[in-house]
Copies of this chain bind each other. A is one copy, B any other.
Amino acid sequence: MKKPLILVTNDDGISAPGIRSLIDVMSEIGEVVVVAPDKPQSAMGHAITINNTLFLNKVSKSNAAITEYNCSGTPVDCVKLAVNEIFHRKPDLCVSGVNHGSNSSINVIYSGTMSAAVEAGIEGIPAIGFSLLDYEWDADFEPIKSFIKKITIETLTKGLPIGVVLNVNFPKLKEHEIKGIRICRQAKALWVEKFDKRKTPQGKDYYWLTGEFVNEDKGEDTDEWALANGYVSVVPVQFDMTAHHSIQHLNTWNLNEKN
């Protein structure tokens, strides 16, 4: 069987340990091409670069086992450039990560890691975003490699439903402590901001965004529950953002009556 062509990207930048671990696992499964940001692009959401130029640089040597490019743009730009300017076709899979830090719950919407996966999904490419609940550069990705491999192979074998990509988060545990993999829904949680207000040396106010993650969703079918209880969480994510359930209600509004 022909090896699947796998695009690997992330949002922490091409030199992050997380993506190096993901490349290791993917090399056991398929032909790997890396197109990743040349600098950290965390919390970029689904940003694309339309008011600036994009640079794409081949950074692997010609005899390297894996072809690697860095890109001056966002994670979404990386996917678009890979498909259009490197592959000239759809890869068989796009994987993003492994992110240094959680992308569970509402983080999916701020995440550069997940936006790359979502962009691939929009373009009809099976896609998975992987994140580890450890923000450290020195995070240990070894315990999760077997799970990444299993989820990836199952995705390649079974295929994903149309319009769905996977958001996979790993608890910060040793391999034998991880209880298993659970399919979950996104917990209804949010960040409560707290700005750190400071003054420049010239006396002008400025802010750093900080915040506290608040989860009041106690459902045992959520990603937050799974992660807190030692499981790997897998949330199927869609990019049809329509709140279909509220269309009927909104049709009762008097929007077309003359005043």
B249 and A161 within 8 A (CB): yes
Identical subunits present = 2
A204 interfacial contact with B, CB 8 Å? yes
Q: Interface size of A by Cβ–Cβ distance < 8 Å?
A: 77
In the complex, A115 has a CB within 8 A of chain B: yes
Interface stretch among A15-23, A49-57, A136-144?
A: A49-57
Please state if A247 and B47 are interface contacts (CB–CB under 8 Å).
Answer: no
A239 to B208, CA, bound (A): 25
Expressed in whole angstroms, the minimum distance between the Cβ of A140 and any Cβ of chain B is: 22
Do the beta carbons of A151 and B255 come within 8 Å of each other? yes
Min C-beta distance of A69 to chain B, whole Å: 12
Please tell me which stretch of A29-37, A78-86, A92-100, A169-177 contacts chain B, meaning at least 4 of its Cβ atoms lie within 8 angstroms of it. A78-86
The yes or no answer to A250 lying at the interface (CB within 8 A) is yes
CB distance from A149 to the nearest CB of B (A): 9
7 nearest interchain CB pairs? A45-B46, A45-B45, A238-B243, A236-B243, A181-B255, A54-B207, A45-B47
